[in-house]
Amino acid sequence: MPANPILRLKSVRKTFGHFTALHGIDLAIEEGEFFTIVGPSGSGKSTIIRLLVGMDELTSGEIWLRDKRIDQIPANLRPTCMVFQSLALFPHMSVGQNIEFPLKLRKIDPAKRKARAIELLQLLHLPASYYDKRVTECSGGERQRVALARALAFDPEILFFDEPLSALDYRLRKSLEKELKDLHARTGKTFVYITHSLEEALVMSDRIAIMKSGRFEQISDADEIYSKPVSRFVAEFMGEVN
C-alpha cells in the first residue's frame, strides 16, 4: 500500500439500475507508478476509469487526488487525461492540429503550440515533418502515437488508458507496449492502464490489480501476481498467459 498516494478510491460503488458494477472498491495508486487494472470483459474496468476521469458519477464513495477530493469536480477541471481504445483523433485535422488542440483550448500562442507539438512528435518517435500530415495518411500505430502525443499535450498529472492497443495486430501491439513503458519512464507521470490481457499487464506494470465482477481479487507487484496468485480465479487467469 503506497504511503503517499497520488490517487485514492474509497468505497467506490457504482450501480446501473439494479445492477452493481462496482461493489465499494478501495485503491491507492503511487505517484509515478505504472498501475494496471486487468480482468475479463464486463468486470468493471472501464467503469472505474470513467469515474476517475469524470465521465460518469459515483453512486457512493470518494475519489481523492492527493489531499483533494475530486469526485464532484467536472471532468474538464481534473488534472487527468484519457487515451481511448478507439483512436479519437479529428480526421479532418492535421497531425499538428490534433496535438495542439489541448494547447489551443488553453489559448497558448501559435508559435509555442507548434514548438510543443514538435517536441511531442519527437518524444513519440515521429518525424517533425508529420506536423503537416493528414491523420488519414497515418498508419494505425502512427495514429496511436499521435493520440498519445495529444494526451501528453494536456500535461495531465495522471494518464488513463482504456485498452489502447486491443484493436492493433500482435506485432504492433508488442512494439507499442515497449514504447508505452519507455514513455512512462521518460515522462515520470502516473499511468493507469486497463487491459484484458494479463500478458500485457505483466510486461508493463509496476503493480497490477486483478478484477472480477466489480471487485479487486488481488492487488500486488507484477512478479507476485505471477508467483503467488491469491485465488483459483487469478491462477486460471494467469494460465491463459502461458
Our finding on whether 97 is near Mg ion (CB under 5 A) is no
CB of 50 to ligand ADP, least distance (A): 7
CB of 213 to ligand ADP, least distance (A): 9
Choice between 20 and 187, CB closer to ligand ADP: 20
Stretch that binds Mg ion, among 5-13, 45-53, 130-138, 213-221 (CB under 5 A): 45-53
- Contact of residue 102 among Mg ion, ligand ADP, none (CB under 5-8 Å per partner type): none
Our finding on whether 46 is near Mg ion (CB under 5 A) is yes
CB of 24 to ligand ADP, least distance (A): 15
- Contact of residue 42 among ligand ADP, Mg ion, none (CB under 5-8 Å per partner type): ligand ADP
| Per-residue interface string for the shown chain with Mg ion, residues 3-42, x marking contact by CB under 5 A | ----------------------------------------
- Contact of residue 218 among ligand ADP, Mg ion, none (CB under 5-8 Å per partner type): none
CB contact set of 60 (below 8 Å; sequence gap of 6+): 11, 12, 13, 24
CB of 122 to Mg ion, least distance (A): 31
- Contact of residue 21 among Mg ion, ligand ADP, none (CB under 5-8 Å per partner type): ligand ADP
Applying CB under 6 A, which residues contact ligand ADP? 16, 19, 21, 39, 41-47
| Three-state secondary structure string covering the chain | CCCCEEEEEEEEEEEECCEEEEEEEEEEEECCCEEEEECCCCCCHHHHHHHHHCCCCCCEEEEEECCEECCCCCHHHCCEEEECCCCCCCCCCEHHHHHHHHHHHCCCCHHHHHHHHHHHHHHCCCCHHHHHCEHHHCCHHHHHHHHHHHHHHCCCCEEEEECCCCCCCHHHHHHHHHHHHHHHHHHCCEEEEEECCHHHHHHHCCEEEEEECCEEEEEEEHHHHHHCCCCHHHHHHHHCCC
Our finding on whether 94 is near Mg ion (CB under 5 A) is no
Spatial strand order in the sheet of 68-69: 19-30, 5-16, 60-65, 68-69
Choice between 30 and 56, CB closer to ligand ADP: 56
CB of 41 to ligand ADP, least distance (A): 4
